[in-house]
Every structure is written in C-alpha cells, then in structure tokens.
C-alpha cells in the first residue's frame, strides 16, 4: 500500500514538473515557416553547408546558445574577437612551457575611429572598459584581481543582449535560478511532510520520497532550461554547419572573402575546438591573402617559434589557442561571486 501511495505522489509531482518543463522548450521554425516549441530540433534531410558564421552571432555566443550559460571561455572568445576586429592587440611576452603551463600575454588597447567604435555593442564596450579600466596595457594574469569584481556584470550584460536580440525568450540565468530554488523548495517540502506525517501514518516515508524525487528531477532539468527563440535555434543549427566547414571545408576563395579569412574565422574555430583543423585547411591553400592582416592583432615574437619571422597558420593557431586557454582559465578563477542578476 505504501509504495502505491508513494508512486501516486511521484506521478502527480512528475506531471507538474513536466508541464512546467514543457513551457521552457526551445522554439524552432517549422516547415510551414512558423515558430513552434518542440522537444528537439526538426530533422533536416539535407542540412545546408555554410562557409561563413551566422549573421549577428559572435564567436562567444555559440556555446551560450547551446548550454544556456555564459562561461569564462565565452568571454575569452569575445576578447579574441575584439582583437581581430582591431580594438586591442594581444602580445605574447612569455611562452608557456612544454606542458602548456604558464605563459604570459599583454593586452594592448588600440585607438579606434568613430566609425569603428560605432560597431561596438554595449556589452563589448563594457567588456573593454572593465578589462582595461584606466590603463592602455594590462597583463592577462592580472585580470584575476582586476577583472574579478566585474566578471558577473559582464555575464549579465551578455544575457541581457541575447534576450534583447531575441535569441532567448527570457534570461536563461534567471530561469536556471528559479528552477533550482523550486527544487530546493520541493526537497524541503518533502522533509516537512515526513516530519509532520511520520507519527500519524505508516507511509509518511513513501509520500516524502514521492515528493523528493520530482525535486531531484527539477534540479537536473535546471541545467537544460533553455527558452531559446526560433532565431536562437536557427543560429545553433547554422553554427553546427559552420563548424563542419571549419573542420573539413576549403577557405573561401572569392576576392571579398579571401583576405584575412584565417584570422577572422579563428575565434569561431577556437570555440568549436577546431583551430588545428582550420589552420591545416588554410595551409593547404597557396594564397598569401589567407594570412593577410592576421599578424597585426596577435603579435608572436620571433623567439617563440624557432626564431623565425614567417609564421604558418598552424603555428599561429597554436599560439592563439594557448592564449585563449590561459585567458579563459584566469577569467574563470577571477569570479568574485556566483552568477546572479544585478
């Protein structure tokens, strides 16, 4: 009898949690061209290949749209992207050891024109101001102290931007916090039920467990509360197609796309873990414009690569990847407080 009551309690709780979870499903564009909430992306018989990033989606946004959370590596990707767009220069001052440990880089703010500054979004301007403060040059390792108090503010600005641009229906961090609070409340309710009923009925434990189990489910589901709009889901799908291009495609060879394409796409390759693949693809193209303008935003001293001045795409990608990993690690360690909305 006790297990039947416990099961009935669990089923009621599961139906409530499932109903709430259904409201947070991601939206997708159906074949009829309308937006609809679905459990998973609609199947595509012939996914279109893509040799350029989705429009209006920076390198640092892809993983945020996929996992619904801003992490340190996303902020590091935005810094690399700002460098390749000419707002700062990354200069290596100390090479990591053979195990990839250590190393130091300097971030040097570059003077931007009015036209160039007009392309900055609010969160990018805030990120630059918080990284540099009143300085024009900062060391990456110093960000652990100087950037730490502002890390959460940068995360919140990114969330706000993604909601304003209709990639999410609601701040995903707020949704995650709400679900975790609800999960904690359910767990406390199960304890309270057990305390109140244990002296009155024999099956108090079964009822408490029936309440506690949906609370555990809510805690697990809080990591997957998305609420992406159809635009956000489309960006994720296009990003997956672009990732395949970076791994297996040939760099664009049209006149407008060719110059500096390696450097422009490198921040996306870093985010996708495809920097080595992308560099090898570029090395297979005998065209000097592939690397054009790339070395201007990331300075690799000659002594770091066998004392040569000519740097291949693979060598350059390895150096940028080392910076990206170190920058993400330092920013991740600089958290002043857990993520919260201010």
* pLDDT > 60? residue 8: yes
In a domain, 51, yes or no: no
307 falls in which pLDDT band (50, 70, 90)?
very low
Domain final position from 205, 224, 243: 224
* pLDDT > 60? residue 144: yes
Is the CB of residue 306 less than 8 Å from the CB of residue 95?
A: no
**Pairwise CA distance, residues 213 & 334, whole Å:** 35
In a domain, 342, yes or no: no
The reported pLDDT for the residue numbered 1 is 63
In a domain, 240, yes or no: yes
Closest CA to 102 of 331, 335, 332, 330: 330
> Do 142 and 163 lie in a common domain?
yes
In a domain, 103, yes or no: yes
> Do 284 and 162 lie in a common domain?
yes
Domain final position from 204, 224, 244: 224
**Pairwise CA distance, residues 185 & 11, whole Å:** 18
> Do 244 and 297 lie in a common domain?
yes
The reported pLDDT for the residue numbered 288 is 67
The reported pLDDT for the residue numbered 311 is 74
In a domain, 78, yes or no: yes
> Do 185 and 38 lie in a common domain?
yes
76 falls in which pLDDT band (50, 70, 90)?
very high
pLDDT above 90 covers a percentage of the chain that reads 17
Domain that holds residue 190: 2-43+171-224
In a domain, 147, yes or no: yes
> Do 189 and 75 lie in a common domain?
no
Q: What is the pLDDT of residues 213-253, one digit of tens each?
A: 888 888 888 887 878 898 998 898 888 889 999 988 888 76
Q: What is the pLDDT of residues 145-197, one digit of tens each?
A: 878 778 888 888 999 999 999 999 888 888 888 888 888 888 888 888 878 77
> Do 14 and 77 lie in a common domain?
no
> Do 198 and 94 lie in a common domain?
no
> Do 153 and 262 lie in a common domain?
yes
In a domain, 53, yes or no: no
> Do 149 and 74 lie in a common domain?
yes
Question: Which contacts (CB < 8 Å, 24+ apart) does range 281-287 have?
Answer: 281/246, 281/248, 281/249, 281/250, 281/251, 282/251, 282/313, 283/312, 283/313, 283/314, 284/250, 285/250, 285/251, 285/253, 287/251, 287/253, 287/258
User: Which phi and psi (to 5°) does residue 299 adopt?
Assistant: -90, 120
> Do 151 and 79 lie in a common domain?
yes
Average pLDDT of the chain is 81
* pLDDT > 60? residue 337: no
339 falls in which pLDDT band (50, 70, 90)?
very low
In a domain, 138, yes or no: yes
**Pairwise CA distance, residues 45 & 37, whole Å:** 20
> Do 235 and 295 lie in a common domain?
yes
What is the total count of domains within the chain?
2
> Do 123 and 24 lie in a common domain?
no
Mean pLDDT of 313-322: 88
């Amino acid at each position: 009898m006790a297990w039947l009551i416990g099961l009935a309690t669990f089923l009621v709780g599961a139906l409530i949690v499932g109903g709430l979870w259904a409201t947070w499903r991601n939206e997708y564009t159906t074949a009829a061209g309308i937006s609809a909430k679905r459990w998973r992306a609609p199947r595509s018989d012939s996914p279109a290949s893509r040799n350029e990033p989705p429009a209006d989606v920076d390198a640092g946004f892809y993983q945020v749209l996929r996992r619904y959370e801003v992490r340190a590596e996303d902020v590091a990707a935005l810094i690399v992207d700002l460098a390749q767009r000419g707002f700062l220069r990354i200069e290596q001052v100390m090479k990591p050891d053979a195990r990839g440990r250590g190393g130091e880089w300097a971030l040097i703010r570059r003077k931007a024109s009015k036209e160039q500054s007009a392309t900055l979004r609010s969160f990018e301007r805030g990120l630059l101001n918080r990284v540099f403060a009143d300085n024009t040059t900062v060391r990456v390792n110093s960000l652990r102290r100087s950037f730490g108090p502002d890390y959460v503010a940068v995360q919140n600005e990114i969330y706000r931007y993604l909601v304003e641009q209709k990639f999410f229906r609601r701040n995903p961090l707020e949704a995650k916090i709400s679900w975790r609070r609800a999960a904690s409340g359910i767990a406390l309710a199960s304890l309270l039920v057990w305390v109140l009923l244990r002296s009155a009925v024999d099956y108090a434990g079964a009822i408490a467990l029936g309440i506690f189990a949906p609370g555990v489910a809510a805690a697990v589901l809080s990591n997957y509360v998305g609420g992406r709009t159809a635009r956000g889901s489309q960006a994720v799908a296009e990003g997956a197609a672009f990732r395949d291009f970076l791994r297996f495609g040939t760099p664009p060879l049209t006149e407008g796309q060719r110059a500096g394409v390696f450097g422009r796409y490198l921040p996306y390759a870093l985010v996708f873990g495809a920097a080595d693949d992308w560099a090898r693809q570029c090395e297979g193209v005998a065209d000097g414009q592939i690397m054009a303008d790339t070395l201007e935003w990331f300075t690799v001293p000659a002594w770091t690569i066998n004392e040569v001045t000519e740097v291949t795409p693979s060598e350059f990608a390895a150096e940028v990847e080392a910076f990206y990993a170190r920058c993400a690690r330092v920013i991740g360690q600089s958290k002043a407080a857990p993520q919260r909305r201010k």
